[in-house]
Amino acid sequence: MNVKAILLPMVWLFWVVCAQAQSFAGLGSAADAGFATPVRGQALSFPTDHGAHPAYRIEWWYITANLQAEDGRDLGVQWTLFRSALAPEGGQGWSVPQVWMGHAAVTTARQHFTSERLARGGVGQAGAEAAPFRAWIDGWSMRGNPVTGPVTLKAEGRDFAYDLTLTANRPLVTHGEAGYSEKSDSGQASYYYSQPFYEVAGVVELPEGPINVTGQAWLDREWSSQPLDENQAGWDWVSLHFESGAKLMGFQVRDDQGAFTSGTWIHADGRVEPFRDAVVQLTPGKTVRVEGRRVPIEWQVTAPRFGLDVQITALNPQAWMPMLFSYWEGPVTIAGSHRGKGYLEMTGYD
């Protein structure tokens, strides 16, 4: 599909309010009347919350995987399903105001394959059901028990495909206050939980042929109606697997004043220490030119509270996602006080 041809009009189409250009993909636009908003202290409920929440404006099922081929090469895999509600209604039929979007990518040190899918809710082309769990758009799917696995994860594009099996032996992780994750000082928030402990095995198909892979993966589940404040332009987000077995989710949401930071330190045994307010520092380093804009592909990540001072470096600096709304997303390698691998996502660099 010629992305360029439909990009311009579709940006409008998908995230509805792109007039507010300072806020990435319109995520900072005010929640319209009728949409539900996250409430502090409301406990997450499983398995229901694995499924879709049509009353909320935006939701995603987000898996990033750091994989290794049999020959030792590093690969990254992304599988994302977004749900965007035009109105807080579910149901059946073409008039259901739920739009679904899928992003899939395979990244090696030299290559970066991406694909995108768009679908209407209500006719069966895309959706997410809690139990038995399945989330899908067209032929792409994530199905199985999201907590323990096995979860099968499939996607394919013009020049790549993957079929992975994910299993985990530790429980889900909630961020913020038991899943209520704040995104700004003025109270924007989302429900946010993860399964960062997936072990992965499977096959990635590239133009050169099938590659058997193993590695680890991270599931992020998040839903909200206005996750960003109006003056917030974008964010930098990392999910890092350290060799020690500990993990870190950290992000900063940039605004015209500075940045709002937050994150969660996950111990090797699954205990979590959520934090916010400058506990983690994300400092951009070297930048490169990617698709006509400069993007930092090295970051200094420090968190003195956890003895963390590492440099993360993109495996492939050109891991740009050229989608309806575009962003940078790719695997990173970690060096410094801790070693390991992870994923970096940067939005709002237009």
Partner 1 sequence: MRGVVLKALLSHWRRRPLQLFSLAFGLALATALWTGVQAINAQARQSYAEAARSLGQIGFDQIIAPGGVLFDQSIYVALRRAGWQVSPVLQGQLRVNGPQSVDVIGMDPLSMPSPVTSSAMEGGAGLLTFITPPGQAMAHPETVAALQGAEGLPELLPVDGVPPGQLMVDIGVAQHLLDAPGQVSRLIVLDEQPLARAALHEVAPELQLRTGQDTSDIARLTDSFHLNLTAFGLLSAGVGLFIVHAAIGLAFEQRRVMFRTLRALGVSLNALTLALVAELLVFAIVTGAIGVVLGYVIAALLLPDVAATLRGLYGAGVSGTLSLQPAWWLGGLGVAMLGTAISASQSLWRLWRMGILAPARPRAWARQSQRGLWRQLAVSLVLGVLAVALARWGQGLVAGFAMLGALLMGAALALPPVLSGLAALAARASRGALAGWFWADTRHQMPGISLALMALLLAVAANIGVSTMVGSFRAAFTGWLDQVMVSELYVQARDEAEAEALDDWFETRADAVLPIWSDRVELSGLPGEVYGIVDHSTYRDNRVLLSGREDAWDRVFAEQGALISEQLSYGADLSVGDVLSLPGGLGLSVVGIYADYGNPMPQALIAQPVFNRVANAPQRLRLAVRVAPEKVGNLMRETVEDFGLPGENMTDQASIKAVSIRVFEQTFAITAVLNVLTLGVAGFAILTSLLTLSGMRLAQLAPVWAIGLSRSRLSVLELGRAALLTVVTAIVALPVGLLLAWALLAVVNVVAFGWRIPMQLFPVDWAVLGVVTMVAGVLSAAWPALRLARIAPAELLKVFAHER
Residues that bind partner 1 (CB under 8 A): 1-2, 5-6, 8-10, 12-13, 16, 86-87, 93-95, 97, 99, 115, 118-120, 123-125, 136, 138-139, 156-161, 205
33 exposure class (CB count in 10 Å sphere: 0-12, 13-18, 19+) = exposed
Residue 70 has a CB neighbour count (10 Å cut-off) of 9
Closer to partner 1 by Cβ: residue 141 or 181: 141
Tokens encoding 161: 């495909």
Closer to partner 1 by Cβ: residue 161 or 213: 161
Closer to partner 1 by Cβ: residue 26 or 274: 26
Nearest distance in Å: CB 12, partner 1: 6
Tokens encoding 204: 């990635």
Distances (CA, A) of 31 to 1, 20, 116: 32, 13, 26
Nearest distance in Å: CB 91, partner 1: 12
Nearest distance in Å: CB 311, partner 1: 36
Distances (CA, A) of 155 to 78, 79, 163, 212, 318: 9, 7, 7, 16, 21
146 upstream amide cis, omega within 30 of 0: no
Q: Helix %, strand %, coil % for the chain, to 5?
A: 5, 55, 40
Nearest distance in Å: CB 20, partner 1: 15
Distance CA 2, CA 4 (A): 6
- The helix (H) or strand (E) run that includes residue 136 is strand 134-137
Nearest distance in Å: CB 231, partner 1: 24
Identify the three-state secondary structure at position 170. coil
Q: What residue has token string 């992000």?
A: 251
Closer to partner 1 by Cβ: residue 136 or 299: 136
Nearest distance in Å: CB 55, partner 1: 16
Check: CB of residue 107 under 8 Å from CB of residue 318. no
Distance CA 44, CA 193 (A): 9
Closer to partner 1 by Cβ: residue 2 or 257: 2
Distance CA 245, CA 196 (A): 11
Closer to partner 1 by Cβ: residue 4 or 110: 4
Nearest distance in Å: CB 118, partner 1: 4
Distance CA 224, CA 226 (A): 6
Nearest distance in Å: CB 153, partner 1: 15
Closer to partner 1 by Cβ: residue 13 or 201: 13
Distances (CA, A) of 325 to 9, 60, 328: 11, 15, 11
Closer to partner 1 by Cβ: residue 159 or 350: 159
